[in-house]
A = this chain, B = another copy of it.
Amino acid sequence: MDDDQSRRLLIIGGGAAGMSAASAARRLQADKEIVVLERGPNVSFVLCGLPYFVSGIVGHLESLIVYTPEYFRMERNIDVRTGCEVKRIDTGNSTVEFVDRATREKGAVSYGKLVIAAGAQPIVPGIPGLALRGVFALRSLEGGAVMKDFIARRPVRRAAIIGAGYIGLEMAESLKTAGAEVTMIEASDSVLPGSEPEIAALIEEELRRQGVELLKQQLALSLESNAEATVERVKTDSGEVAADMVLIAAGARPDAAIARETGIDVGETGGIVTDEAMRTSIPDIYAAGDCVEARHLLTGRPIFLPLGTTANKQGRVAGENACGGRAVFPGILGSLAFRLFDLEVARTGLSHDQAQAAGFAPISAIVRFPSRSQFYPNAETLTLKLVADRRSGRLLGAQMAGNDAVAKRIDVAATALHAKMTVSDLMHLDLAYAPPLGTVWEGIQLAAQELLRHPAAGS
């Protein structure tokens, strides 16, 4: 192994995880050779901003690019190569083979350490009509640009969204804001998988209030076209939905193909398996971001939940450790937030049902409380469901909806979950209060009071 090879850090994927790894490595080692191979034309992109680009709230696609390839090359001395599709990892020779998508030329780069940050792919149901014009599945900036262009060129009067997870919900707001009538088609009996029923009910109420149609327990069977091969309607198992445009928002799966072909362990979730140091099962190869599965801090079980927050943390840990660091990524709580028109929704930890399934003995309380002192004008009503373990008294999860700092309030619960706090501990929290900013007892404490009335939860 020559010197160059042993020193070079190679990263597959220039998204949040890959560029976090590259930047973390550069911070630790000023002279390390760092190469990033990215399939698309951009790196360091913020896919979670796409709904706001489609709606027009964000005017320029470039706003969703934190740093350009040029910036990384010039300012951080990171050799970013866009348009490079990785074909094979040769672990025997510590080499990655790729094809330049523009020239079709093949190339190879050797590595001392490798970080796989290949991201995720949209889950697309196997139904006819996916190739029609006007059918989209958002998983890249370029895809967002094409969709925005499609909307700009013709009046999209009716949009259908297949899937009512949080991205489907964000896109419902986005497309409605862009001027379309929106119908959501959801196969299950609830929006947002993993939601407490009381929170799901508030989401559905907000959809109704904003004039978004929600069809539950309907399965999309095919996408049908007009003469111009542009989508015209969605056929479902119980009818038809007229649509000038269809967005597939049925979730994502880890892009672990290259890892699998390399013989790297892939878990039951489909994500690459790593340890806390983000090491894969093959020496010198790390993985980070949407292509890996994480450990759930409460259940200890693997979970696949592709989020930018996790990708940034994991990338950083992988990049540091690839440079001899000793960083760890302990796992996730499933924390999540999104906005749906005038409703903020956020969660952390386990729902009542998830806690039950994980072997806990869950008890839960739901409270509705004002976002500021009751005497202070314009308080919003917030709804919080708190779940705890009856046996240990430990907090297990929180879900909240409303229109005032809901995500930040959930962060308090997330921090308490990290600290393995009990419901009693929550009552002792010295939280900051002023009449225009909150209530003397915060919602989490009001819910904790409720839970403490439950026999045996006060331990």
A residues contacting B by CB (< 8 A) are: 16, 46, 48-49, 52, 57-58, 63-64, 170, 297, 307-310, 312-313, 328-339, 344, 346-348, 373, 375-377, 405-412, 414-416, 418-419, 421, 425, 427-438, 440-442
Contact = CB atoms under 8 A, between A and B. Distances in A.
Contacts of A414: 429-432
Contact of A405 (B310, B405, B431, B436): B405
Contacts of A331: 430
A336 B415 contact: no
A384 to B, nearest CB: 13
B376 A58 contact: yes
Interface centre among A335, A435, A441 (most CB of B within 10 A): A435
A153 B339 CA distance: 47
A298 to B, nearest CB: 11
Contacts of A330: 428
A373 B46 contact: yes
Contacts of A336: 432
Nearest to A438: B407
A364 to B, nearest CB: 19
A410 B427 contact: no
25 contacts: A16-B440, A46-B373, A48-B433, A48-B435, A49-B376, A49-B435, A52-B375, A58-B376, A308-B433, A309-B433, A312-B440, A335-B430, A337-B437, A348-B432, A405-B405, A406-B437, A407-B438, A408-B409, A408-B411, A411-B432, A411-B442, A414-B429, A414-B431, A415-B416, A419-B421
A375 B313 contact: no
A335 B411 contact: no
Contacts of A344: 437
Nearest to A332: B430
Contacts of A409: 408, 411
Contact of A431 (B48, B57, B297, B411): B411
Contact of A310 (B16, B313, B430, B436): B430
A70 to B, nearest CB: 19
B419 A415 contact: yes
A201 to B, nearest CB: 20
Contact of A407 (B16, B49, B434, B441): B434
A3 to B, nearest CB: 28
For the complex of A and B, the 7 pairs showing the least CB-CB separation, nearest first, are: A419-B419, A337-B432, A408-B408, A63-B375, A405-B405, A415-B415, A407-B437
Contact of A338 (B310, B312, B406, B434): B434
A333 to B, nearest CB: 4
A432 B347 contact: yes
Interface centre among A330, A406, A408 (most CB of B within 10 A): A408
Given A375-B46, A430-B335, A433-B309, A412 B418 contact: no
A271 to B, nearest CB: 16
Given A49-B375, A418-B429, A440 B309 contact: yes
B428 A335 contact: no
A108 B421 CA distance: 45
A429 B425 CA distance: 18
Interface centre among A336, A337, A410 (most CB of B within 10 A): A337
B373 A432 contact: no
A176 to B, nearest CB: 15
Nearest to A330: B428
A427 to B, nearest CB: 7
A425 B327 CA distance: 11
B339 A434 contact: yes
Contacts of A46: 373, 375, 435
A299 B438 CA distance: 27
